[in-house]
Amino acid sequence: MKSLYEEKILPFVQRPGRYIGNELNSVHKDWDKINIKVALSYPDLYEIGMSNVAIQILYYTFNQQPDVLAERVFAPAPDFESLLTTNNLQLTTLESFRPLSDFNLIGISLGHELTYTNIYNILKLGGVPPWQKDRDDKAPLVMGGGPCSFNPEPIVDFFDFFVIGEAEEVLIQILDVLHNSSLVPPPLFDNCCGIPQSGSIRHSSLEALANIPGIYVPTLHNKVTKRIVKDINNTPYPTNPIIPFIETVHDRAVVEIMRGCKWGCKFCQAGWTNRPVRQKSGEKIIALADELLKNTGYEELSLVSLSTSDHTQIAETAKTLAKKYQDKRINISLPSMRTNTFSVGLAKEVSRVRPSGVTLAPEAGTQRLRDVIGKNMSEENIFDGIKAAFSAGIESIKLYFMIGLPTETDEDLIGICKLAQKIWETGKTYTNRVRISVNLATFVPKPHTPLQWEEQIGIAETLRRQHLIKQNVKNKRIEVRWHQAEASFMEGVFARGDSRLSKVIEKAWALGCRLDAWSEYLKFDLWLQAFKESGIDPHEYLKARDKNAPLPWDYIDTGVARDVLLRVANY
């Protein structure tokens, strides 16, 4: 297969580095000597998928097991897909260049709702029937996990099972089931061996999987409680990640320092589903960073979490690392910090490159609305942070807001414009080169959050609110950017969608929809056609939900009771 790729495809595609494999630290095991073969995918283009820490963790964890090999596959770009189809070739992994149908298990990371047509496409091009009901004992099991699995309903028919919550420990239990299952290895199921092709072996494997806490099997519709890793200090972490040949979204060494977030903003799914807060010790972070930098040669080390400034040892840990690596000119970056005097001071102290800008997410333009959504940020906090940034010589401030929040009025939207102007005026007292950007996302109510029952505004209303803000920002030095209204609409439909949507996904795929998270590829008119032909009104999914009615994702227990969400939602 590899030589066919090299001959018929790679010379003719853009960015062939997406498809050639063989990167530093990629793992190549002897196919014939390994029992369990796993293909892992982040269903988007290579540059996005390779920046996903979850894929690197899974790849590392599986490949640590002697009797398992894990390989990678990403979504093809349109030019690559069209050459595959023209040449009658299948989509393969980047290590052994074998089609997905040759594997025992396919693991797909569900990071964004607008990757759902890519999932269908990857399975189809890889020779695996996309619908779970069409797969027999010879076909791989298809596993999903990641943020979108907290409501898997729109894609439930494409998967055999889902891991709900953190995967590291559950993976080993999944491998035990596969080891004990006749599903491994596939050659056992050649017709000559006389084993029936009824799907019964597959069914018994799925029954065994459903008994593992944290696993949801759609055909068995079992209730499931989210898995968490209690001790994140001792969980496997990839200290030899794959280094891509081409530029990806994040080209840097990454140490995850903490899970969970203590703030409880009412709209934030990551905050509600990643509880409780757990942190790695300072020594562990330093040990991982040492190993990572030695194995990769990266010049930037990023200490990541949902809210990095809440790590109780962040200051001493970051300073120790900065001191240790200053001679090697390795930069320490601390994303997801709350902008305040402490974080600005710390970033300045540990970063070799003086940060040119800071990011601040007030989310709403008025204190009233920030209180409604539980955003624990007062105007005083905002201006303390801004002043600290300007006095540290920073000239550029990125502000993030949501529009369409519950109870929002035009006055709240004007509040965004006023706040941005006030920040600009404050900056002017420090420097003449202040640059402010106002970034507007549309509020999408997410499952398992206190705002999961709220209405989402539609496209026309989104455009009206965006326009109102653009008109009321008169200062040419303040730039206003916004999310594509159609993309937010689609995200909203699928975030709170149900299983009727899988046929829409298939229809949209058949009409040519792919890579929908990319504004240049999103074909909204074709999606509308797919909804219409499926007899489904997408607007229904954006409506407010009855707080007393069941929700499609009720069978998933995240550890936060519905009563708690209802109590917190109250405003």
**Residue 402 in contact with ligand SF4, rule: CB under 6 A:** no
**Residue 271 in contact with ligand SF4, rule: CB under 6 A:** yes
**Residue 265 in contact with ligand SF4, rule: CB under 6 A:** yes
Only one of the segments 91-99, 208-216, 265-273, 290-298 lies at the binding site for ligand SF4 (rule: CB under 6 A); that segment is 265-273
State in angstroms the smallest separation of the CB of 215 from ligand SF4. 26
CA 353-358-363 angle, 5° bins = 160
8-state DSSP, 180: H
Neighbours of 357 (CB within 10 A): 13
Only one of the segments 92-100, 263-271, 532-540, 557-565 lies at the binding site for ligand SF4 (rule: CB under 6 A); that segment is 263-271
Concatenated DSSP letters for 154-169? GGGGG-SEEE-B--HH
State in angstroms the smallest separation of the CB of 271 from ligand SF4. 3
CA 401-406-407 angle, 5° bins = 105
Candidates 46, 68, 45; CA nearest to 58 is 68
Return the structure tokens found at 459: 């496209």
Concatenated DSSP letters for 535-569? T--GGGGGSPPPTTS--TTTTEE-SS-HHHHHHHH
- Cis geometry, peptide bond prior to residue 152 (ω within 30 degrees of 0): no
- The CA distance from 457 to 460, in Å, is 8
Only one of the segments 44-52, 61-69, 239-247, 264-272 lies at the binding site for ligand SF4 (rule: CB under 6 A); that segment is 264-272
* CB closer to ligand SF4 out of 119 and 261: 261
**Residue 400 in contact with ligand SF4, rule: CB under 6 A:** no
- The CA distance from 534 to 513, in Å, is 15
Candidates 96, 106, 115, 98; CA nearest to 49 is 115
Backbone angles phi, psi at 165, to 5 degrees: 100, -150
State in angstroms the smallest separation of the CB of 242 from ligand SF4. 27
Q: What is the CA radius of gyration of the chain?
A: 24
State in angstroms the smallest separation of the CB of 272 from ligand SF4. 8
Candidates 79, 77, 80, 120; CA nearest to 100 is 120
Only one of the segments 1-9, 261-269, 414-422, 504-512 lies at the binding site for ligand SF4 (rule: CB under 6 A); that segment is 261-269
* CB closer to ligand SF4 out of 305 and 466: 305
Only one of the segments 260-268, 294-302, 365-373, 525-533 lies at the binding site for ligand SF4 (rule: CB under 6 A); that segment is 260-268
Return the SS3 of 300: strand
Backbone angles phi, psi at 108, to 5 degrees: -120, 125
**Residue 268 in contact with ligand SF4, rule: CB under 6 A:** yes
* CB closer to ligand SF4 out of 38 and 358: 358
State in angstroms the smallest separation of the CB of 264 from ligand SF4. 6
* CB closer to ligand SF4 out of 377 and 493: 377
Instruction: State which of residues 65, 82, 307, 421 lies at the interface with ligand SF4 (CB under 6 A).
Output: 307
The answer to whether 126 and 99 have CB atoms below 8 angstroms apart is: yes
* CB closer to ligand SF4 out of 45 and 397: 397
- The CA distance from 296 to 25, in Å, is 9
Return the SS3 of 478: strand
Neighbours of 474 (CB within 10 A): 8
Partners of 106 in the β-ladder: 39, 142
* CB closer to ligand SF4 out of 184 and 268: 268
Instruction: State which of residues 306, 392, 414, 568 lies at the interface with ligand SF4 (CB under 6 A).
Output: 306
Secondary element (H or E) of residue 173? helix 168-180
* CB closer to ligand SF4 out of 309 and 529: 309
Only one of the segments 128-136, 238-246, 256-264, 518-526 lies at the binding site for ligand SF4 (rule: CB under 6 A); that segment is 256-264
Q: Which residue is nearest to ligand SF4 (CB)?
A: 271
State in angstroms the smallest separation of the CB of 265 from ligand SF4. 3
Neighbours of 428 (CB within 10 A): 13
* CB closer to ligand SF4 out of 308 and 462: 308
Residues 489-548 that bind ligand SF4 (CB under 6 A): none
Only one of the segments 212-220, 267-275, 281-289, 543-551 lies at the binding site for ligand SF4 (rule: CB under 6 A); that segment is 267-275
* CB closer to ligand SF4 out of 99 and 271: 271
* CB closer to ligand SF4 out of 448 and 523: 448
State in angstroms the smallest separation of the CB of 55 from ligand SF4. 21
| Strands laid side by side in the 300-304 sheet | 253-256, 300-304, 331-333
- The CA distance from 79 to 208, in Å, is 41
Binding-site size, ligand SF4 (CB under 6 A): 9
Strand 357-363 and strand 331-333: the pairing is: unpaired
Which amino acid is residue 174, in one-letter code? Answer: I
**Residue 261 in contact with ligand SF4, rule: CB under 6 A:** yes
**Residue 263 in contact with ligand SF4, rule: CB under 6 A:** yes
State in angstroms the smallest separation of the CB of 233 from ligand SF4. 21
Which positions ≥6 away from 190 have C-beta within 8 Å? Answer: none
* CB closer to ligand SF4 out of 307 and 367: 307
**Residue 277 in contact with ligand SF4, rule: CB under 6 A:** no
Candidates 419, 515, 418, 440; CA nearest to 114 is 515
Instruction: State which of residues 220, 243, 270, 287 lies at the interface with ligand SF4 (CB under 6 A).
Output: 270
* CB closer to ligand SF4 out of 202 and 259: 259
Which residues bind to ligand SF4, rule: CB under 6 A?
Answer: 261, 263-265, 268, 270-271, 306-307
